[in-house]
Amino acid sequence: MAISLSKEQLIHEIAVIHRRQKGTVFSPGVIGKILGHPQSWRSLKKDELIAVLEAWHHLLQSCPKTANWETVERGDRRVSLLADGQPWVDYFGFPSLQSAETFLNEVLPHCDWAIVRSSGKRVNASFECKVWGLTPDYLAAIGSQRLAVCAR
**Do 141 and 76 reside in the same domain of the chain?**
yes
Provide DSSP, 88-145: EEEEEEESSHHHHHHHHHHHGGGSSEEEEEE--SSSSSSEEEEEES--HHHHHHHHHH
Tell me: do 82 and 47 sit in the same domain. no
Domain count, the chain: 2
138 is in which domain, residue-wise? 69-150
What's the pTM? 0.86
Same domain (yes/no): 27, 96: no
Residue 152 has pLDDT above 80, yes or no: no
2 in a domain, yes or no?
A: no
**pLDDT tens, residue by residue, 76-135:** 788 889 999 888 999 999 999 999 999 999 999 999 999 999 987 788 889 999 999 998
Question: What does the pLDDT look like over 19-60, one tens digit per residue?
Answer: 999 989 999 999 999 999 999 999 999 999 999 999 999 999
Do residues 86 and 105 both lie within one domain? yes
Is 3 strand, coil or helix?
A: coil
